[in-house]
Amino acid sequence: MTLAATSNLVAELLAGPRPAEWGELREAAETRLAGRDLPTTRDEDWKYTDLKALAGLSFAPAPKATVDISGHLLPEMVGTRQVFVNGHHAPHASCASAVPAGVRFFPMSHASEACHALGSVPNGKSAGLFEDLNTARFQDGAVILVPKNMKVALPLHLLFITQANAPVAVFPRVLVVLERGSELELVEEHHGSGTYLTCPVVEIHVAEGAILRHERVQRDDAEAFHLGTLKAEVAKGGQYHSRTLSFGARLSRQQPWVRLAEGAEASLDGLALLEGQQVADTHSFMHHTEPNASSHQLHKCIVDGKARAVFNGRVRVAPLAQGTDAKQQSRNLLLSESARVDTKPQLEIYADDVKCSHGATVGALDPEELFYLQSRGLNADDARNLLTYGFAADVLTHVPVASLRRALRQLVMARTQAGSLGDLS
């Protein structure tokens, strides 16, 4: 084995100075990264997602920048947001004045508190190279701590914005800890402009009986690469529900890992709208480690142009995890001949008393549905656009924050040519 060439992107990203805090964490990550390069399509895990275009680029650490966030504000979350620009906390754009007392919601750069928080929860096994890169080089991030039994009424808002005048790399980081019996809604958004690489890592700990609802919106620039990791630990009777909506990025990969303890519940829903040459890959891992937990996944993609969607849904049911109920559905709508979808469930079931179902569909619009709409007077184009819209909007029905739901529906309307149909919300 020869070591990677000097043009190695991993080495390049690590070339800059190691930030001072969390030295041990970072050192361990760097050790794991030593001598490694980007995965290639020869890696089983990256078979359908080619990082060649990424490997050919070079990224500098992202400088501090200021941006206008007025277009990203949501009325329900006026005083509950933390904003990060190019990986750095943006204090003037952030406002946490409405965060209820007792809830901790602060940037990691407020080190003394964060140090304690980040060190106190087990991070588990690394999800791979991009998590390690983040750990080695993240500049800042958000910490959210919700105390025991506190049900937070207002949703919290995390905005990660990248502004790349030249190619930059950013490593957003989030740690969420919900103590026993607490409840929270969290909206996490990624926006940006220019060519950049963003490798967010979100770590979540949901304690016994706690409930986290997590909306994730990826609207990165069409020239961006988004390689994200999410790890959620859900303790006994806890619930974690997330919805990941991917609109942007030239290439994106979401890697959500969820570990469920006894009686826990999790849902990982997803929607990706892809066009042009976009690639969106989701490699999920739903890990049932204890009895009687249930999980649910609905992953939808609309793929147009020469775009490509990849879904690999791994579900592992440990021998102990009797009474598991795991459902997974991957539904894909192809709008062009050259669009492509690779979808596959990966079930690893080691318990016998379990209910596991999975299904995948890849295809065009259903002619019966088209006819039904046409029989009510909609012309063929309108019927197609309405069905395409509905296919996507279906995932948005239960987005809890009304203004966000509306904004997302409008975005979907614009992307599905349903705009001419008037207000559909």
Partner 1 sequence: MLSIKNLTASINGTPVLKGIDLEIKAGEIHAIMGPNGSGKSTLGKVLAGHPAYEVTGGEVLFEGQNLFEMDADARARAGLFMGFQHPIEVPGVSNASFLRLAYNKKAEAEGRDELDPLEFDDFIREKIKLVSMREEFLDRSLNEGFSGGEKKRNEILQMAVLEPKLAILDELDSGLDIDALRVLGDAVNKLQRADRALLIITHFPRILETIQPQFVHVLSGGRILKSSGKELAVELEERGYDWVLEEAAAGGAR
The DSSP output letter for 127 is: -
Q: Is 372 in the site for partner 1 (CB under 8 A)?
A: yes
Hey, is 14 helix, strand or coil? helix
Alpha-carbon Rg for the chain, nearest whole angstrom, is: 21
**Interface with partner 1 includes 411 (CB under 8 A)?**
no
Q: What is the distance between the alpha carbons of residues 354 and 325, in angstroms, rounded to a whole number?
A: 6
Q: Which residue's CB is nearer to partner 1, number 210 or number 395?
A: 395
Q: Of 328, 345, 339, which is closest to residue 388 (Cα–Cα)?
A: 339
Told to check if 423 binds partner 1 by CB under 8 A, we report: yes
Residues 77, 156 contacting (CB under 8 angstroms): yes
Residue among 293, 349, 285 at smallest CA distance from 324? 293
Residue 380 binds partner 1, judged by CB under 8 A: yes
Measured in whole angstroms, the distance separating CA 356 from the mean position of its chain's CA atoms is: 24
If one asks whether residue 374 binds partner 1 (CB under 8 A), the answer comes out as: yes
Q: Which stretch binds partner 1 (CB under 8 A): 192-200, 214-222, 352-360, 363-371?
A: 363-371
CA distance 366 to 29: 48
Q: Which of 77, 393, 399, 408 binds partner 1 (CB under 8 A)?
A: 393
Residues 263 and 273: their CA atoms lie apart, in Å, by 33
Q: Which stretch binds partner 1 (CB under 8 A): 3-11, 241-249, 314-322, 361-369?
A: 361-369
Give the range of 56-64, 162-170, 333-341, 371-379 binding partner 1 by CB under 8 A: 371-379
Does 422 sit near partner 1 (CB under 8 A)?
Answer: yes
Q: Which is nearer to partner 1, 195 or 297 (CB)?
A: 297
Query: How many residues form the binding site for partner 1 (CB under 8 A)?
Result: 32
Cα–Cα nearest to 283, from 245, 307, 310: 310
| 44 near partner 1 (CB under 8 A) | no
Cα 292 to Cα 318: distance, rounded to the nearest angstrom = 11
Q: Considering only residues 293-332, where is the footprint of partner 1 by CB under 8 A?
A: none
271, 241 contact by CB (below 8 A): no
- Give 353 or 366: the residue with its C-beta nearer to partner 1: 366
CB of 327 to partner 1, least distance (A): 16
Q: Using CB under 8 A, which of 383, 399, 401, 404 touches partner 1? A: 383
Asked if 404 is part of the footprint of partner 1 (rule: CB under 8 A), the reply reads no
Min dist CB 421 to partner 1, Å, is 6
Is residue 397 close enough to count as binding partner 1 by CB under 8 A?
yes
Q: Is residue 361 a contact residue for partner 1 (CB under 8 A)?
A: no
> Distances from the Cα of 205 to the Cαs of 51, 130, 219, 242, in angstroms?
31, 20, 25, 14
The stretch among 119-127, 135-143, 259-267, 376-384 that binds partner 1 (CB under 8 A) is 376-384
Task: Candidates 30, 50, 342, 394: give the one binding partner 1 (CB under 8 A).
Answer: 394
Return the DSSP state at 95: B
CA dihedral for 392, 410, 171, 76, sign (positive or negative)? negative
What distance lies between CA 385 and its chain's CA centroid?
27
Interface pick for partner 1 out of 50, 76, 382, 407 (rule CB under 8 A)? 382
Closest by CA position to 416, among listed 251, 275, 249: 275
Asked if 364 is part of the footprint of partner 1 (rule: CB under 8 A), the reply reads no
Q: What's the closest the beta carbon of residue 365 comes to partner 1, in angstroms? A: 11
Our finding on whether 108 is near partner 1 (CB under 8 A) is: no
| Interacting residue ranges for partner 1, rule: CB under 8 A | 366-369, 371-380, 382-383, 386-387, 389-397, 421-425
